[in-house]
Chain A
Amino acid sequence: MTETSTHTLTRRGLLGLGAGAGTALLLAACGGGGGPAGPAARQSGPASAAPTAYTGPNVTLSFWNGFTGGDGPYMKKLVDQFNGEHPNIKVTMNVYQWADYYAKVPAAVTAGQGPDLGIMHVDSVATNAARQIVLPLDDLAASLQLAEADFSPPVWQAGTYKGGRYAIPLDVHPLGMFYNKTVMREAGLDPEKPPQTAGDYLAALEELKKAGVQGHWATPFPFTGTFQFTSLLYQHGGTLFNDDASTAMFGGDAGVQALTWLVDLVKKGYSPKNVGQDADVIALKNGKAAFNWNGIWTINTLNEVEGLEWGVAPLPQIGSQPAAWAGSHQFVVFKQRSQDDDKLTAAKVFINWISRHSLEWAKGGQVPARKAIRESAEFQALKEQATIGSQIDHLFFPPPVAGVADVSPLIDTAVNSAILLKKEPAAALSDAVTKADKLLEQNRKKYGG
């Protein structure tokens, strides 16, 4: 953000301030209303003030998230900038390890000590909606005039639960294919033309093998072995679950093809056996591997390695259609003992402001969820992010069903056993599917799906 544009925004914000106050009064006089009805009990009428301004008394918002890595400072910077531009809103940010965060937040909310707003991964939203940790945000989306077209359909749909909206997408973080240009060049491959089809990819791996390089280290661990498996599953036309997540689908032909392809990397000698945790990305950095399918967050990791010549491309299309795994950070608002409309309005202003400034966030290694920003020249100028972001129409998310993430460890185990050559892919997957179906049935009873 340049200094001038900041000033413009402030001025615009000030103008909006007056308009917002008027609207708020008007709506208050009408007794509230507007916005589609949410499924869960709302504590009072929706606060439908103008989205870009908050005129009430000074409020403090606590904002919790798990940005402990290189992403943390980028969010902190945005929060500081927001606080500077909004004298009557003070946002305080608390950062926890994600695992701690997901354990702490429900406990804090139950104790009435919960934060006002936070970030959740997309596959946790439905579970936390069912557990009444997060509030429905239909009115927020309506008053901010946010709709599917402003994002992308899969990421927008993923933030819902039983027809209600519970989360506003901030970013998506897909897998991309990172490659070591030096290694490719030394094996006689063109580093400016990374392989993008199944045939080219295997041909490249064969060339690398001849040059004594195991090109694609197949990791048996969830980061990112499971993500590679699910990407390939969707590429072969499969899905993790059926639409209402009542049945696990990853054990079908598509799943077996996907996992077999990864296992064959090991069997054909394109990958060493027994790849350890993170060894795949270390191998890429050390020049022992040519390719690594990893999350967009790897951009920062590789930038820190001096003298490393690397590039990134969309995942090659191995199956019948392009597809890539992605996660998504989404804004949520937490339930409080008593609702404070001022805080809700301020939270709305904050979410909207960060969302509009998510280009800054993208620099930390993310793809903004918001379409307008994704398509802006500024984002396209972030070459690596834009390349990975070009997969936006081929991303997939699990169905928004409570407890769906419980199945992940089963998939992790199947991928792990198969890539470590302990079980045949089909057997490993069918074991996981049997257990997954029982879990899904249990969850249906538990959450009343």
Chain B
Amino acid sequence: MTAPPVRRRGRLTPLFFLSPYLLLFCLFVAVPAVYGLYISLHEWDYLLPGKPFVGLDNYAALFDPDSPVHDNFWTSMKATGVFTLGSVPPLVVLPLGVAMILNRRFPGRTFFRAVFFLPFVLGVAVIGVMWRILLDPNLGFVNHLFGLDIPWTTDLPWAWVSLIGITVWWTLGFNAVIYLAGLQDIPRELYDAASVDGAGAWQRFVHVTLPGLRPVAVFVTTVTILASANMFGQALLVTQGAPGIETRTAIMYIAQEGLVDYRMGSAAAMSYVLTLALIVVSVINFRIFRSRS
């Protein structure tokens, strides 16, 4: 007679366990996302009494070359694209190499693990201002040290080299730690078996390590793409978008439009276009990894 109540309770148990996250998810992700869609259909300043409905005008403006937002928006999308394309490959590949090295046994291993992770602990304000000073085209230590005369922060392509380099240095440790955890989850027996079958180091890497890391690599790639597409602080502090608005990223422009100029409808529309682009990229990313398996 005790079985039915247990089962009945059991049906709801997962929901109870999920409810705290579900509540937060709805409150801070789902509801704002839908609300944002609603905002994007209006001319929206939350403090003005009138918030006229404008239909798809905010979206149409993004595709109308004569609108005040068109050039600014697409230049910023291009900047985000360039940064993402430039920063994701090194941020996926280099940390793997670092993780492989740090996974070996050698004296001072823990120290070096900390050293590689350390920059990630610093806030974007700290690393941004520090590198801006180090990379100053005329007074910076980097040019001084190497006897160079490179406009690291004020000209292309150098500004991108700087921003990507800074970001790789800064966040490499985070990806490396995740790879390291993934490496430690690969059973030792597989390596032993591979060695017994006569596999060399490279073959062990290709046929044991890489397949074993696939789920971790999907995670690292996806998270890195999203983080790069959301780049904001580095450009804001190091280049301020210079030269002109060439390094002003989509998030920087959206923040300006919505939170400084209070055109929140237009900013919301831009966010949705950016989101759509990121969804497409993420789907492609998952497809690529799935087709390999």
Structural contact, A423 and B244, CB atoms closer than 8 A: yes
Structural contact, A286 and B137, CB atoms closer than 8 A: no
Kindly state whether residue A341 has any CB partner on chain B within 8 Å: no
Tell me the bound Cα distance from A428 to B21 in angstroms: 50
Which of A301-309, A342-350, A414-422 lies on the face that meets chain B? A414-422
Chain B residues whose C-beta falls within 8 Å of the C-beta of A423 in the assembled complex = 244
Structural contact, B137 and A276, CB atoms closer than 8 A: yes
With beta carbons under 8 angstroms apart, the residue of B46, B71, B240, B243 that contacts A277 is B240
Structural contact, B243 and A279, CB atoms closer than 8 A: no
Structural contact, B261 and A403, CB atoms closer than 8 A: yes
Chain B residues whose C-beta falls within 8 Å of the C-beta of A438 in the assembled complex = 67-68
- Identity of the chain A residue whose Cβ is nearest the Cβ of B48 in the assembled complex: A131
Tell me the bound Cα distance from A273 to B244 in angstroms: 15
Kindly provide the distance from the CB of A439 to the nearest chain B CB, expressed in whole angstroms. 5
Structural contact, A131 and B243, CB atoms closer than 8 A: no
Interface string of A10-30 (1 = CB under 8 A from B): 000000000000000000000
Tell me the bound Cα distance from A446 to B43 in angstroms: 8
Structural contact, A420 and B47, CB atoms closer than 8 A: no
Q: Which of B119-149 contact A (CB under 8 A)?
A: 132, 135-140
Interface string of A415-449 (1 = CB under 8 A from B): 01100101100000000000100110010001100
Kindly provide the distance from the CB of B71 to the nearest chain A CB, expressed in whole angstroms. 8
With beta carbons under 8 angstroms apart, the residue of A110, A277, A288, A442 that contacts B47 is A110
Kindly state whether residue A51 has any CB partner on chain B within 8 Å: no
Kindly provide the distance from the CB of A268 to the nearest chain B CB, expressed in whole angstroms. 17
Known contacts A276-B139, A276-B153: A110-B244 contact under CB 8 Å: no
Kindly provide the distance from the CB of A95 to the nearest chain B CB, expressed in whole angstroms. 17
Chain A residues whose C-beta falls within 8 Å of the C-beta of B139 in the assembled complex = 276, 279, 282-283, 286, 288
Chain B residues whose C-beta falls within 8 Å of the C-beta of A132 in the assembled complex = 47
Structural contact, B256 and A422, CB atoms closer than 8 A: no
Kindly state whether residue A413 has any CB partner on chain B within 8 Å: yes
Structural contact, B243 and A133, CB atoms closer than 8 A: no
Structural contact, B43 and A420, CB atoms closer than 8 A: no
Chain A residues whose C-beta falls within 8 Å of the C-beta of B154 in the assembled complex = 220, 274-276, 420
Q: Which of A207-241 contact B (CB under 8 A)?
A: 217, 220-222
Structural contact, A279 and B136, CB atoms closer than 8 A: yes
Kindly provide the distance from the CB of A101 to the nearest chain B CB, expressed in whole angstroms. 12
Most chain B beta-carbon contacts within 10 A, residue among A127, A272, A279, A435? A279
Kindly state whether residue A103 has any CB partner on chain B within 8 Å: yes
Tell me the bound Cα distance from A276 to B67 in angstroms: 32
Interface of B is mostly: loop
Structural contact, B243 and A276, CB atoms closer than 8 A: no
Known contacts A131-B47, A417-B244, A446-B45: A277-B151 contact under CB 8 Å: no
Kindly state whether residue A406 has any CB partner on chain B within 8 Å: yes
Kindly state whether residue B262 has any CB partner on chain A within 8 Å: yes
Chain B residues whose C-beta falls within 8 Å of the C-beta of A442 in the assembled complex = 68, 263
Structural contact, A221 and B67, CB atoms closer than 8 A: no
Interface string of B243-262 (1 = CB under 8 A from A): 11100000000001001111
Structural contact, B68 and A420, CB atoms closer than 8 A: no
Tell me the bound Cα distance from A439 to B220 in angstroms: 41
Kindly state whether residue A409 has any CB partner on chain B within 8 Å: yes
Chain B residues whose C-beta falls within 8 Å of the C-beta of A133 in the assembled complex = 47
Kindly state whether residue A115 has any CB partner on chain B within 8 Å: no
Chain A residues whose C-beta falls within 8 Å of the C-beta of B48 in the assembled complex = 130-131, 446-447
Tell me the bound Cα distance from A417 to B67 in angstroms: 21
Structural contact, B45 and A422, CB atoms closer than 8 A: no
Tell me the bound Cα distance from A294 to B152 in angstroms: 24
With beta carbons under 8 angstroms apart, the residue of B135, B138, B240 that contacts A275 is B138
- Identity of the chain B residue whose Cβ is nearest the Cβ of A282 in the assembled complex: B139
- Identity of the chain A residue whose Cβ is nearest the Cβ of B237 in the assembled complex: A277
With beta carbons under 8 angstroms apart, the residue of B242, B256, B262 that contacts A409 is B256
Known contacts A276-B137, A279-B138, A279-B139: A416-B46 contact under CB 8 Å: no
Interface string of A93-115 (1 = CB under 8 A from B): 00000000011001000100000
* A interface residues, how many (CB within 8 angstroms): 39
Counted as pairs of residues, one from A and one from B, with CB atoms less than 8 Å apart, the total is 91
Structural contact, B138 and A276, CB atoms closer than 8 A: yes
Tell me the bound Cα distance from A127 to B153 in angstroms: 33
Q: How large is the interface on B (under 10, 10 to 19, 20 to 34, 35 or more residues)?
A: 20 to 34
Structural contact, A420 and B243, CB atoms closer than 8 A: yes
Most chain B beta-carbon contacts within 10 A, residue among A131, A217, A273, A276? A276
Chain A residues whose C-beta falls within 8 Å of the C-beta of B72 in the assembled complex = 435
Structural contact, B132 and A276, CB atoms closer than 8 A: yes
Structural contact, B137 and A439, CB atoms closer than 8 A: no
Kindly provide the distance from the CB of B273 to the nearest chain A CB, expressed in whole angstroms. 19
Known contacts A131-B262, A282-B139, A446-B48: A417-B243 contact under CB 8 Å: yes
Structural contact, B151 and A273, CB atoms closer than 8 A: yes
Interface string of A242-261 (1 = CB under 8 A from B): 00000000000000000000
Chain A residues whose C-beta falls within 8 Å of the C-beta of B71 in the assembled complex = 435
Structural contact, A420 and B244, CB atoms closer than 8 A: yes
Q: Which of B248-288 contact A (CB under 8 A)?
A: 256, 259-263
Known contacts A131-B45, A276-B139: A416-B244 contact under CB 8 Å: yes
Interface string of B75-108 (1 = CB under 8 A from A): 0000000000000000000000000000000000
Structural contact, B68 and A439, CB atoms closer than 8 A: yes
Kindly provide the distance from the CB of A57 to the nearest chain B CB, expressed in whole angstroms. 32
Chain A residues whose C-beta falls within 8 Å of the C-beta of B67 in the assembled complex = 438
Chain A residues whose C-beta falls within 8 Å of the C-beta of B45 in the assembled complex = 131, 446
Structural contact, B256 and A416, CB atoms closer than 8 A: no
Kindly provide the distance from the CB of B176 to the nearest chain A CB, expressed in whole angstroms. 31
Structural contact, A413 and B137, CB atoms closer than 8 A: no
Known contacts A277-B132, A277-B240: A110-B137 contact under CB 8 Å: no
Tell me the bound Cα distance from A333 to B1 in angstroms: 70
- Identity of the chain B residue whose Cβ is nearest the Cβ of A434 in the assembled complex: B68
Structural contact, B47 and A422, CB atoms closer than 8 A: no
Chain A residues whose C-beta falls within 8 Å of the C-beta of B260 in the assembled complex = 102, 406
Structural contact, B68 and A276, CB atoms closer than 8 A: no
Known contacts A132-B47, A276-B138, A446-B43: A220-B242 contact under CB 8 Å: yes
Chain B residues whose C-beta falls within 8 Å of the C-beta of A274 in the assembled complex = 137-138, 151, 153-155
Tell me the bound Cα distance from A447 to B155 in angstroms: 38
Tell me the bound Cα distance from A422 to B75 in angstroms: 16
Residues of B within 8 A of A (CB): 43, 45-48, 67-68, 71-72, 132, 135-140, 151, 153-155, 240-245, 256, 259-263
9 residue pairs A–B, Cβ–Cβ below 8 Å: A103-B259, A132-B47, A220-B242, A274-B155, A276-B136, A283-B138, A413-B245, A438-B67, A439-B68
